[in-house]
Every structure is written in structure tokens, then in C-alpha cells.
Amino acid sequence: MSKLIALLAFGALAAGLVAAPAQAAVDPAAAPSAKTLYDEGPSGRYLVDGPWLRRLDPLNIGLLGRWQSGASVTGWDSVSVPNAWNATDDSLTSYFGSVGWYRRDFKLPSAAADTAWVMRFEEVNFAATVWLNGTKIGSHEGAYMPFELRLPKNLVKRGAVNRLVVRVDSRRTINDLPPSERDARGKALGGWWNYAGILREV
């Protein structure tokens, strides 16, 4: 019997629409909603909506602090995803990028052993590293290209709570596409803005 490949679609907010964060009181976990963002495409897709947690990391200390496996919600804010954490910040510091983390607890829609699960991220700007239940399952670079990660059978919890953590690094170099450039006076060049976060469906 062939395995059912189910896509978990994680909602991503348009770059200009960002809800004001609130200090997280709880870390909710719920099964994905039985709805999709597109009428056409594979069956068995779900949208992981509802509240996410976000933590900004301007000093880039999250990896050293093992934020990918921590249980505490201290320092995390509740946000809606899609989310661009610098949507209202037009400073040069914002343009040249930083690091932020997203976290979501969820239960699988089905605990059936013959069901495999795939996460599809439509856009994360710029570099994404993804952990499931504290273990890294993949990474990707490129703001405008979607990517998919299979949830390993030995890591995913069926009938229990799973934790997805995404580290987003929006810092760019002149060799990235689009590049991060500035003139001799330090002024940003280019006709685009470096919005940072989970910007579209995953």
C-alpha cells in the first residue's frame, strides 16, 4: 500500500501585515486545520494556523543557548504567521538583516502509521534552519524559492505533541540573490526591502 504524503501548509503573513506581538503565556498545541490555501494540488493538505511563538535574536546567541530544544516560553512573543518581524522598521539595521526564531507546537491530524508527513515552506527570508522535536531536519537558503522537508519517522510523534522550530537569518552578502549592497556612504542600494521572517505558506 502506497504511503499517503500529506503536506502541512504553514500560513505566512504578507510582509506588510504584522500583528503586534504579545508576551507568550502558554505554548498551545493543536492539530492543523482541515483547509488549504490552494484549490488545486495534492490531497491531504492542512494549514497549521493559530498562534506561533517568535523570539528575536539580534546578538545571534540562540544556537549557543539551544533555543531549538528549550521548553520555556520566557522571551518568546505570541504572533500570527505569516510574519515579517521588521515590516514597520525602515532603518538600515533592518535592511541589512538579523536573526529571529519561530516555534509552533502541533499534533498530527492523523496518527496512522502508514502516513508520511512533509512540511512545505513557500517562502522564508533568507536562510532557514528547521528542527523537529529538538533535532535538525533540514535547512534552505533563498527567499523566493519554496522548499519541502520530510518529517522523519523516528522523530515525529504520532498522537502526541510535536515541536517545530525555525531559525531565520535575514542577513545577506553581495553574493546572495538579491544581494545586500550599499554605496560609499553606507546607504542601501536596490529596489527591494529585506523583509525578514516566515513570509508565505510553508
| CATH number for the domain harbouring residue 164 | 2.60.120.260
- Residue type at 152 in one-letter notation: P
Other residues' Cβ atoms within 10 Å of the Cβ of residue 131: 20
Phi first, then psi: give them for residue 92, nearest 5 degrees. -65, -35
Domain with 100, as residue range(s), is: 4-198
> What is the total count of domains within the chain?
1
167 alpha carbon, distance to own chain's centre: 7
Q: 182 and 188 in contact (C-beta within 8 Å)?
A: yes
List the chain pLDDT tens, one digit each, 202 residues: 433 344 444 443 333 334 445 555 444 577 777 666 666 767 778 887 778 999 999 999 999 999 999 999 999 999 988 999 999 998 888 888 999 999 999 999 888 888 889 998 989 999 999 999 999 999 999 888 899 999 999 999 998 999 999 999 999 776 666 655 555 555 555 657 889 999 987 7
- Residue type at 149 in one-letter notation: L
DSSP for the chain reads -PPEEEEEEEP---TT--PPPEE-S---EEPPBS--S-SSS-SS-EEE-SEEEEEE-TT--TTTTTTTT----TT-EEEESSEETTTT--SHHHHT--EEEEEEEE--S---TTEEEEEEES-EESEEEEEETTEEEEEEE-SSS-EEEE--TTTPPTTS-EEEEEEEE----TTSSS--EE-TTS-EESSS----EE-S--
> Between the CA atoms of 55, 27, 23 and 122, what dihedral angle is there, to the nearest 10 degrees?
40
Q: 60 and 22 in contact (C-beta within 8 Å)?
A: no
Bond preceding residue 178 cis, omega within 30 of 0: yes
